[in-house]
Chain A
Amino acid sequence: MVEEESLRVVRCGGSELNFRRAVFSADSKYVFCVSGDFIKVYSTATEECVHILQGHRNLVTGIQLNPKNHLQLYSCSFDGMIKLWDYTDGILIKTFIVGCKLHALFTLDCAEDSVFITINKEKPDVFQLVSVKLPKSSSQEVEAKELSFVLDYINQSPKCIAFGNEGEYVAAVRDFYLSVYFFKKKTTSRFTLSSSRNKKHAKNNFTCVACHPKEDCIATGHRDGKIRLWRNFDDEKKYTYTCLHWHHDLVMDLAFSVTGSSLLSGGRESVLVEWREAAEKNKEFLPRLGATIEHISVSPAGDLFCTSHSDNKMIIIHRNLEASAVIQGLVKDRNIFTGLMIDPRTKALVLNGKPGHLQFYSLQSDKQLYNLDIIQQEYINDYGLIQIELTKAAFGCYGNWLATVEQRQEKETELELQMKLWTYNKKTQGFVLNTKVNMPHEDHITALCFCNAEKSENPTLVTTSKDGHFKVWILTDDSDIYKKAVGWTCDFVGSYHKYQATNCCFSEDGSLLAVSFEEIVTIWDSDTWELKCTFCQRAGKIRHLCFGRLTCSKYLLGATENGILCCWNLLSCALEWSAKLNVRVMEPDPNSENIAAISQSSMGSDLFVFRPSEPRPLYIQKNISREEVQWGVFVPRDVPESFTSEAYQWLNRSQFYFLTKSQSLLTFSTQSPEEKLTPTSKQLLAEETLPTTPFYFILGKHRQQQQDDKLNEALENELVQLPLTENIPAISELLHTPAHVLPSASFLCSMFVNSLLLSKETKSAEEIPDDVSMEEEKESVDSDEENNFTEEVQDTNNTDLGKDIIHQLSKSEEKELRKFRKVDYSWITAL
């Protein structure tokens, strides 16, 4: 590792995909979306992230294709820059510096060398639409200061501005009026709807606007769910509008199809409505999209739509209203009760996701892996309804078991509580419900933890509750005459002076259980469930409790609400040290002795990393976040880093992630942003124009790289060693031949499968001439290495080969013969 710079807090994925409308590439192969400071390029066919365009220093607020070159993409950001990208290669082409915060970006075909942006002038809620002239210059960074004013007092959201009829006019909506600016006439018409004074029209506010691509027609969405189609708006007196009303709540976004024959609308109902020919009676629905539709976009080719949803998801939808792909980010629109966990199997981050679900989120690929439905009930999205909340979850036994707790409390006395235990099924590769416990406790469950000791033969779970008890649950045999089964039962109930049990924690070897009862920590022997000793510091209720690990396993740490961090020595049963620290998050690193604590002060949150053996912290980072940090977790690294600097050594084996109150997922990194390209995206700098599909991952260069990795790790003894695809001519022919000259798939199939087999015999598959013209081309392409390879093969089975060729002779004659001759020659020379 190179000499690291200072440690920085970086946002790591999980940023909003639904912040702005997605943009399609001209050929609908890619879809672009803003994601925090980055722009992500997804393949519409495979949902894979192909590129991440990085370079902006603040939130990206708008992206548009370059109308003059549809292989380029403009983006604007709060950092005041407009950047031009080559999205196929992921290269930044140019940067235009405007200077002020840019809130939205629009491009027009006819506007030669200018783009439109929304900026904020003086007052906080007054936005202007201006056009920026992008100067022609060869340099990488150009100042673009030539702004010309178009419209004033507009809405900040780009949904409230639309350009129509090839840039003849621009329509902007705000509050109760629609303004239309005509570029040719340089006039603005303004249409006002009766406002809130009239009770009937109280919810007349405009929410979004879209312009018909061919006709002079503006569609506006309103807060009461109406869509108005305005026509004749070049005359302030003769204007007229039609109403379309289906939505019962506000219209979130509108989009016309490319030809203008249909209008798409969406809102909180999570239903995409297609209004054909703008007729009220002629509409189609795509229901059950899962969450509020925030944005709708249409591909320039007209074959795809994309909806962005409030649960950080994009759905690619076919023209015939069939959802074809789902791009799901980290779901963030709800409270996180479960905290951050790591699934020991997939190394995925696990936390509350959709209502009633646990989401498994891959930190490496910034992608949701899957959702586990815990509550298994239909979610009814209605205001004021008290829902069942998934409050606690814990993994145990290396990911074999998952315990979840859900609760619903409508009134003070009516608590509904349920604990579920899920077992990992290897066959289905997912969690299956094993045991359901109704009312495991009389009151709220405050904590649950598994005994994760290596030696423990019997999985053990401990739950603590406000009812003053902690319960030990063990896995027992539940077999009967019909089947063999296991189930969880309560083994022991412990309490201490009717205090509320607040936390529990197993020591690393599983021999001790620590349970905190308000201010008192009790230590129990996990074999006999005997109370061993108690610690009481009278420093407030215990908020966090954890044992030290490895060399520090004799220490127990407790953080109290009064801002005291205590460390007890379990051998001497005495307080080792204590420190004044208002700990919000305390997380032990599973791979080292280190413990991370995040304290909250009025200035912000500070991070302290320390070992229980000494009160002096290893590392302090002040002000990691302005807002309160709610949860943190150590994620073990796949490949250990080797930071030499002592301060960063705590990051060698694990990475620390934390979640703030506004639900941004942050981590620490020493790399500069340019270096931070993830390895996957580097791999995906695809050769030529091949789309990066999963197919590509099987057969492309990617596998070669993988194999190298595997070799390094010396793990290949289990794996089947596949031949490198570039070296199999049959496959490269298959991939390089235009489809219209290829023989039928059934003919190619056996050849293709043969080529993947390992035995020496099958290597002759290369010899099966599938297309002659292709063969000719190949001559020049073939490497020497391959030639040698064929020679070897000739030795073993030249008779078979001869037969093969005779069969083929009947089909394609002369060229076949020629080829046969050529092969012969090589063989002779080898002799």
Chain B
Amino acid sequence: MGEFKVHRVRFFNYVPSGIRCVAYNNQSNRLAVSRTDGTVEIYNLSANYFQEKFFPGHESRATEALCWANGQRLFSAGLNGEIIEYDLQALNIKYAMDAFGGPIWSMAASPSGSQLLVGCEDGSVKLFQITPDKIQFERNFDRQKSRILSLSWHPAGTHIAAGSIDYISVFDVKSGSAIHKMLVDRQYMGVSKRKCIIWGVAFLSDGTVISVDSAGKVQFWDSATGTLVKNHLIANTDVQSIAISDQEDSFVVGTAEGTVFHFQLVSVTSNSSEKQWVRTKPFQHHTHDVRAVAHSPIALISGGTDTHLVIRPLMEKVEVKNYDAALRKITFPHRRLVSCAKKKQLLLFQFAHHLELWRLGSTVATGKNGDTLPLSKNADHLLHLKTKGPENIICSCISPCGSWIAYSTASRFFLYRLNYEHDNINLQRVSKMPAFLRSALQILFSEDSTKLFVASNQGSVHVIRLLEGSFKHLHTFQPQSGTVESMCLLAVSPDGNWLAASGTSAGVHVYNVKQLKLHCTVPAYNFPVTALAIAPNTNNLVIAHSDQQVFEYSIPDKQYTQWSRTIQKQGFHHLWLQRDTPITHISFHPKRPMHILLHDAYMFCIIDKSLPLPNDKTLLYNPLPPTNESDIIRRRTAHAFKISKKYKPLLFMDLLDERTLVAVERPLDDIIAQLPPPIKKKKFGT
């Protein structure tokens, strides 16, 4: 594997924002997650829970409700009173429409997908008609006294249940009038709380309404008579979310204590048809409030203030033991937030609303393998660059020479020129960006920092030549006719001749930068691409997919390399395929052409193509063999995958020079320390 000096960076002070809503789409098996900063992420559950799309947040758009309608259409609503529809192809906002009811707390799409309901601050429930390209206000339901915090449709679409403060209303959709008002007990463990907030309701096809409230109760109501049927007190704190399965045989609730409870409909006795709802398993995967839950056919999904998205599979529903059968905890975005200027040893960190530029520390000390070297010069915080406007940063990049920084928000593109004078930095914004450079999904500088590649959200890739203090637009690679899919990932060859660009689902396009034309397209693969890189000299394109497959494609030969064919034939090690997180970065060693360096959040791996591939019987994660062992044993146990799990969670890792690595870690404890304190629970024995 070779020995490296590793810069272990822990000063990337990144804190993901808390999860506010999750919405599961059964048709496409995708999950939409909205965070408190307004970001909406789309996870593809079929592709190993890969975060394939995201919509950047906006300071004024606090999302309170998220729902899928009519198959593929995604709506969100928030406290600014707007209903927003997202364009899942172009990855931008299609339109925003004010509901004129004050802040919106809840939203639900009708089972048929043709209507959309929103519950507003002023107590109104508004019905919208979903038209093919917009939504249209239809009418108001009977206005209630206080805000509507939760909504649920009867599966037949004839009635709705609306949870408010202290009561639940049942509306008839046809007449729009409230037919029942079910008052909820304010009592909480014998103490009368001021108010009982109905955080969630679910309407079952047999007319049962399930409500969860701030007094810690899960209650079952008969909507025909408006009476309470059963009461489960499950928590001392708020129960904040509920999600029911499509079969209506199980549901899940999340509490402010971080516990997720599973309820199942089980038959009372084996030979009777009578069934009852029973609380079965509690899951404690969160430390903070569980603000949102979802119920996919095979898993319970929960997310909350502690920023984790937890996918807990239901063992009885999982047929075979595969990737789906394990508990998943997604904390970090599946994209790069760090870029690196290798020559100047600079790191650029991307936050929601600012960028930070750091110079790595250095040392003069030497030591043995495994030693921690003392720093002779500490890391320098060179630059803190705040964005203008309320929008979040989508992507950012620093050029390899360190003299250019580019970033983009949803509406603007920024390019800066950096001048280093001893210890001072001079930052100069390049003005007059062309009108087509409005928003970028990915930015990349060429190795010699003379060209800038920008993937815009219309599917085009712009090539810009950078000059001292100015630039020149060279060319735009237009997407193939008929597709509007935007490009998310870019890779350029070190010699600057080739550019690879990949979208969310279609194959990887390789462009010839010299001739400015499409060179070839790598055949499409079922799973989205998570990382791309082009090797120096050989110009082999290495592609990592979300199913943990790695391909090597020779650009000059327009075909997969022999090594890639071999590994496909033999298959990857089963432990390799069971890894949790996608590969987010690939790089190469300048002196060792046979090595591919790649990493995910929990491991760093060097693939040595010269060594034999491991089969399922060999140990995949073999620790470094002790040096005193004979070479024969080392050679016998050696295989192509050299894996180090020393650094985790790993956000970024790259080679600075032949003997130096930089690893950016973000320990989970540091994130938790920056979150608001969780609800204090008395633990026995403390």
Judged by a CB distance under 8 angstroms, whether A199 is at the interface is no
Asked if B233 and A282 make an inter-chain contact with CB atoms under 8 angstroms apart, the answer reads yes
Judged by a CB distance under 8 angstroms, whether A240 is at the interface is yes
Given A243-B282, A280-B234; A215-B685 close (CB under 8 Å)? no
Asked if A241 and B269 make an inter-chain contact with CB atoms under 8 angstroms apart, the answer reads no
Judged by a CB distance under 8 angstroms, whether B200 is at the interface is no
Residues of chain B contacted by A232 (CB below 8 angstroms): 264, 266-267
Asked if A216 and B268 make an inter-chain contact with CB atoms under 8 angstroms apart, the answer reads yes
Residue A242 contacts which of B236, B281, B684 (CB distance < 8 angstroms)? B281
A234–B267 Cα distance when bound, in Å, is 11
Judged by a CB distance under 8 angstroms, whether A248 is at the interface is yes
A605–B235 Cα distance when bound, in Å, is 62
Judged by a CB distance under 8 angstroms, whether B566 is at the interface is no
Asked if A240 and B268 make an inter-chain contact with CB atoms under 8 angstroms apart, the answer reads no
Asked if A240 and B280 make an inter-chain contact with CB atoms under 8 angstroms apart, the answer reads yes
Smallest distance from the beta carbon of B336 to chain A beta carbons, Å? 36
Residues of chain B contacted by A243 (CB below 8 angstroms): 281-282
Chain A CB count within 10 A is highest, among B189, B266, B270, for B270
Which residues of B in the span 203-225 have a Cβ within 8 Å of any Cβ on A? 216
A248–B236 Cα distance when bound, in Å, is 20
Mark each residue of chain A from 146 to 169: 1 if its CB lies under 8 Å from any CB of chain B, else 0: 000000000000000000010010
Given A279-B279, A281-B234; A238-B316 close (CB under 8 Å)? yes
Judged by a CB distance under 8 angstroms, whether B473 is at the interface is no
Judged by a CB distance under 8 angstroms, whether B558 is at the interface is no
Judged by a CB distance under 8 angstroms, whether A231 is at the interface is yes
Q: How large is the interface on B (under 10, 10 to 19, 20 to 34, 35 or more residues)?
A: 20 to 34
Asked if A241 and B281 make an inter-chain contact with CB atoms under 8 angstroms apart, the answer reads yes
Asked if B281 and A240 make an inter-chain contact with CB atoms under 8 angstroms apart, the answer reads yes
Judged by a CB distance under 8 angstroms, whether A319 is at the interface is no
Residues of chain B contacted by A231 (CB below 8 angstroms): 264, 266, 278, 280
Judged by a CB distance under 8 angstroms, whether A214 is at the interface is yes
Residues of chain A contacted by B278 (CB below 8 angstroms): 229, 231, 240, 242
Judged by a CB distance under 8 angstroms, whether A237 is at the interface is yes
Smallest distance from the beta carbon of B509 to chain A beta carbons, Å? 46
Given A231-B278, A242-B279, A242-B281; A216-B232 close (CB under 8 Å)? no
Residue A214 contacts which of B268, B282, B316 (CB distance < 8 angstroms)? B268
Which residues of A in the span 217-241 have a Cβ within 8 Å of any Cβ on B? 229, 231-232, 234, 237-241
Smallest distance from the beta carbon of B389 to chain A beta carbons, Å? 48
Residues of chain A contacted by B267 (CB below 8 angstroms): 216, 232
Mark each residue of chain A from 555 to 593: 1 if its CB lies under 8 Å from any CB of chain B, else 0: 000000000000000000000000000000000000000
Asked if B268 and A215 make an inter-chain contact with CB atoms under 8 angstroms apart, the answer reads yes
Residues of chain B contacted by A242 (CB below 8 angstroms): 278-282
Asked if A240 and B266 make an inter-chain contact with CB atoms under 8 angstroms apart, the answer reads yes
Asked if B684 and A248 make an inter-chain contact with CB atoms under 8 angstroms apart, the answer reads yes
Asked if B234 and A168 make an inter-chain contact with CB atoms under 8 angstroms apart, the answer reads no
Asked if B684 and A281 make an inter-chain contact with CB atoms under 8 angstroms apart, the answer reads no
Residue A240 contacts which of B271, B282, B316, B684 (CB distance < 8 angstroms)? B316
Residues of chain A contacted by B189 (CB below 8 angstroms): 281
How many pairs, one residue from A and one from B, have CB atoms within 8 Å of each other in the complex? 57
Residues of chain A contacted by B268 (CB below 8 angstroms): 214-216
Asked if A234 and B270 make an inter-chain contact with CB atoms under 8 angstroms apart, the answer reads yes
Residue A168 contacts which of B236, B270, B685 (CB distance < 8 angstroms)? B270
Residues of chain B contacted by A168 (CB below 8 angstroms): 269-271
Residues of chain B contacted by A234 (CB below 8 angstroms): 270
A232–B249 Cα distance when bound, in Å, is 13
A281–B189 Cα distance when bound, in Å, is 9
A248–B684 Cα distance when bound, in Å, is 8
Smallest distance from the beta carbon of B237 to chain A beta carbons, Å? 11
A467–B234 Cα distance when bound, in Å, is 63
Smallest distance from the beta carbon of B228 to chain A beta carbons, Å? 14
Residues of chain B contacted by A279 (CB below 8 angstroms): 232-234, 279
Residues of chain B contacted by A165 (CB below 8 angstroms): 269-270
Residues of chain B contacted by A237 (CB below 8 angstroms): 316
Residues of chain B contacted by A281 (CB below 8 angstroms): 189, 216, 233-236
Asked if A241 and B233 make an inter-chain contact with CB atoms under 8 angstroms apart, the answer reads no
A238–B278 Cα distance when bound, in Å, is 14
Smallest distance from the beta carbon of A488 to chain B beta carbons, Å? 46
Residues of chain B contacted by A229 (CB below 8 angstroms): 278
Chain A CB count within 10 A is highest, among B234, B278, B684, for B278
Residue B269 contacts which of A215, A238, A239, A282 (CB distance < 8 angstroms)? A215
Q: Which B residues are closer than 8 A to A by beta carbons?
A: 189, 216, 232-236, 264, 266-271, 276, 278-282, 316, 684-685
Could you write out 23 A-B pairs with CB less than 8 Å apart? Answer: A214-B268, A215-B268, A215-B276, A216-B266, A231-B280, A232-B266, A232-B267, A240-B264, A240-B266, A240-B281, A241-B280, A241-B281, A242-B279, A242-B281, A242-B282, A243-B281, A248-B684, A248-B685, A279-B279, A281-B216, A281-B233, A281-B236, A282-B233
Question: Which 8 A-B pairs rank lowest in CB-CB distance, beginning with the nearest?
Answer: A281-B233, A240-B280, A231-B266, A234-B270, A215-B268, A238-B316, A216-B269, A232-B266
